[in-house]
Amino acid sequence: MATIKKRNGKYQVLIRRKGHTPAYKTFSSLPAAKKRIRIAEADMERGLFQPIPDISVAEILKRYEREIVPQHRNAVRHEKYRLDRLRSVFGKLPVAGLRPSLVASYRDERLDIVSPATVRRELVILRSALNIAIRDWGVCLPSNPVAQIVLPKDKSQRIRRLERVEESKLIEKSNTQLRRLIIVAIETGMRRGEILNIKRSHIDLLKRVLFIPSTKTDTPRTIPLSTVAVSALREQLSASQSESGGVIPLHEQPLFSYSPNGVTGGFLKLCRKVGIENLHFHDLRHEATSRLFEKGLNPAEVATITGHKDTRMLMRYTHLRAEDLVGRLG
């Protein structure tokens, strides 16, 4: 049974049939509303009917924030900010009303305000939320509207190598704990959050390996340690042992006492102090990854150390110095 009600100049369709969830949808014209009823009734007869979801975009994004975002340990704050932005634009829409054209308009308008990378991240999280809603939460949509548009390419990928003279300045002028932290970053390619989550129990200096249980990609990994990294970690182990205290067992205490913002702020302050421009702490991961390639490791081997899930992502890190490749050419 299907009914059409006219409200505020638009036509609301209600489709009800035994064994099916009631479906609602609003159309701007009466012919469009009647056409939808004919299609729905024909699909019911053939067993192909998909009810029109009456859930709003805001409800899907809220559930995504509640159930999925907490799993992304190192990106919770950023993802909540993006979700708030998406809710402010699309939240009141029924999910069935989220058309590719609307998403494309949002993309184009945002590109006039923020970088392509920012727009891409916002749309990726919207696409992810809708994919999960369709796959796991019983939201019946014929397709994901975000998947039908072209996402902006991230043209802001940094190509910033750390020069050896810059590295020497950073090591010489930093305080002891920050110095060790910088060395670990350069020698291992670990992310800032991964380094700050290191505990004594994660380190095996005899085998020269470090276990990382919590990562951005939610995939634990064990990485090999260079002799330089081993030396820096051994020094920090000794220093942190003499400074330890409190109720947390020593082996479960963080090895470094910095906060994420403390690392970022301290590193930027250090760069200003020694006259280094346009260098971010994350660039050390980029540098470490590039150096692994320069040592002759293949993409699979590098990914084992850096934790990249897709080896294709590593190609943007392989900004190899020509002078370092001369010796291989003969």
Q: Domain 164-329 falls in which CATH fold?
A: hpI Integrase; Chain A (1.10.443)
Return the domain boundaries, the chain.
2-46, 57-148, 164-329
- What does the block give as tokens for 101? 């054209």
Q: Which CATH number fits domain 57-148: 2.40.50, 1.10.150, 1.10.1760, 1.10.3470?
A: 1.10.150
pLDDT at 159: 73
pLDDT single digits (tens) 206-243: 999 999 887 766 678 899 999 999 999 999 998 877 65
Q: Which residues pair with 329 in a beta bridge?
A: none
pLDDT single digits (tens) 73-84: 667 788 899 999
What integer is the mean pLDDT of 104-123? 90
Taking 90 as the threshold, does the pLDDT of residue 31 lie above it? no
What integer is the mean pLDDT of 176-185? 95
Burial (CB count <10 Å: 0-12, 13-18, 19+), residue 20: middle
- Which is more confident, 97 or 44? 97
Please provide the distance, in angstroms rounded to a whole number, between the alpha carbons at the two ends of the chain: 80
pLDDT single digits (tens) 147-159: 999 998 876 566 7
CA–CA distance, 137 with 169 (Å, rounded to integer): 53
Taking 70 as the threshold, does the pLDDT of residue 248 lie above it? no
Residues assigned a catalytic role: 191, 216, 282, 285, 308, 317
